[in-house]
Amino acid sequence: MFEYQYIIKDNAIVDNVAFDSSFVSQVYEVIRVVDGIPVFFDAHFRRFISSCSFAGAEMNLSKDVFAALLRLLTVKNGVRNCNIRYSINIYSEKQIFYAGFVHSSYPLPQMYEEGVMLDFLKEERFNPNAKILNRTLRERADALMSLKSLYEVALVNQSNQITEGSKSNLFFIDSLEVVHTAPLDLVLGGITRQIIIEEIVKNGISFVEEPVLVENIGNMVAGFVSGTSPSVLPIALLGNCSFLVKHPLIAKIAKCYNQRVAEDIASFRDNYYSI
């Protein structure tokens, strides 16, 4: 599962070996490393701790120790830009913490220019407030994405509400330039989503946290995918509905988000490089 020579196991850097996949449950997080720095480290750590509390898992590493281990992991593997996946694997009689670099697929520049294709999938998370592995959802999403050559799928719940992507959050913009996204009680609240909402509010952009119904998607003029890997990625097509890719609000939100990334990288250096 992990790439490169070294991984973190519990509280140490060790050689990369296959772990026992017979775990009963798994709490996980994925963080992006840019120029050797884990981006939005504090926010990801807080969400991981929250997910652990939902699942009955326990994180035994302090934030400072974990930050130091992640820095060492990037140095020992010689990796500057990639995603790190970390998890607590819960077995019947034990729990083991793992972290390591995983295969990372980032959108091509032309995808930001031309947008990406999505389709609907009738599926919802068991517990949207915790990042717990859902193998059935992941398998169904991957199968549909492969079949139709999609970038992502838009999950639709039993109330016909568009909630989120299979591994991302979704935002839509209507003709009045109001940004819509589903509320936290319906989705896994991504860190990128959180930062984007903060920037939307700070910049006075009209915004509502409410799900868009499938039958009303035609009322939306633009949309974008947000997440650790895509950042802010325009949607060109969702089902049979075409969107405006070069909407000025998407460009503005993307610029604000990228500025926050740069600020967070500087903050991590200030706060954790002396540890």
CATH number at residue 176: 3.20.10.10
Position 233 scores a pLDDT of: 98
Check whether residue 163 and residue 177 sit in a common domain: yes
Pairwise CA distance, residues 237 & 243, whole Å: 6
Q: In the chain, count of helices (H) and strands (E)? A: 6, 16
- Side-chain half-sphere of 1: how many Cα atoms within 13 Å? 12
Closest Cα partner for 107 from 273, 193, 227?
A: 227
The domain tally of the chain equals 2
52 falls within a domain? yes
Pairwise CA distance, residues 129 & 1, whole Å: 25
Give pLDDT tens digits along the chain (275 positions).
Answer: 899 999 999 999 999 988 888 899 999 999 999 999 999 999 999 999 999 998 889 999 999 999 999 999 999 999 999 999 999 999 988 999 999 999 998 999 999 999 999 999 998 876 666 566 677 888 999 999 999 999 999 999 999 999 999 999 999 999 999 999 999 999 988 899 999 999 999 999 999 999 999 999 999 999 999 999 999 999 999 999 999 999 999 999 999 999 999 999 999 999 998 65
Pairwise CA distance, residues 263 & 30, whole Å: 20
**222 lies in which domain range?**
109-261
Check whether residue 126 and residue 257 sit in a common domain: yes
> Which of the listed residues 81, 104, 127 is the one where a domain comes to its end?
104
Burial class (CB within 10 angstroms; exposed 0-12, middle 13-18, buried 19+) of 120 = middle
Check whether residue 30 and residue 129 sit in a common domain: no
Inter-axis angle of helices 41-55 and 191-202, nearest 10:
130
Position 131 scores a pLDDT of: 60
56 falls within a domain? yes
Position 128 scores a pLDDT of: 64
> Which of the listed residues 50, 79, 104 is the one where a domain comes to its end?
104
Position 188 scores a pLDDT of: 85
271 falls within a domain? no
